[in-house]
Amino acid sequence: MGKRDDLIAQYADDLRNKCGMEPDMDLLTKVTIGCGPAIYNADASTVASSQESELETVKENFLMKKLGLADSPDLMAAINQVVETYGKSERNKYRAVVYYMLTKHFGRESVYG
């Protein structure tokens, strides 16, 4: 197994044990690949959920650009819900896991068709 496979296994573990959901491994793999080289960078691989600017970046670059959603208060509400599900006290909120949960939340799995 390569480094990416190890990370995907770690993300799946977080989804099961920290978020209480059984991951769709095919979708999780595609979302992880979609994150590109960011998953290998300690800083870029996580979402700093306490920083408003970071949440805005997730909204604009992922929800609006990647998933093609229109800007609305629902987007930030969904991000906050995902952060709540992951656990506010959880220090490392992996970007791929957050993106996976947002993709599922909005039913946009087809983006990764």
**pLDDT per residue over 59-112, tens digit each?**
999 999 999 999 999 999 999 999 999 998 898 999 999 999 999 999 999 999
pLDDT tens per residue across span 10-65: 999 999 999 999 999 999 999 999 999 999 999 999 999 999 999 999 999 999 99
- Residue 21 CA to residue 102 CA, distance in Å, equals 13
- Residue 18 CA to residue 67 CA, distance in Å, equals 24
- Residue 96 CA to residue 100 CA, distance in Å, equals 6
Domain that holds residue 39: 3-112
Tell whether the model's pLDDT for residue 1 goes beyond 80: no
How many domains is the chain partitioned into structurally?
1
Which alpha helices (DSSP H) does 1-112 contain, by range?
3-17, 25-34, 52-57, 73-86, 95-105
Asked whether the CA dihedral 78, 82, 87, 93 is positive or negative, the reply is negative
- CATH code of the domain containing 32: 1.10.238.120
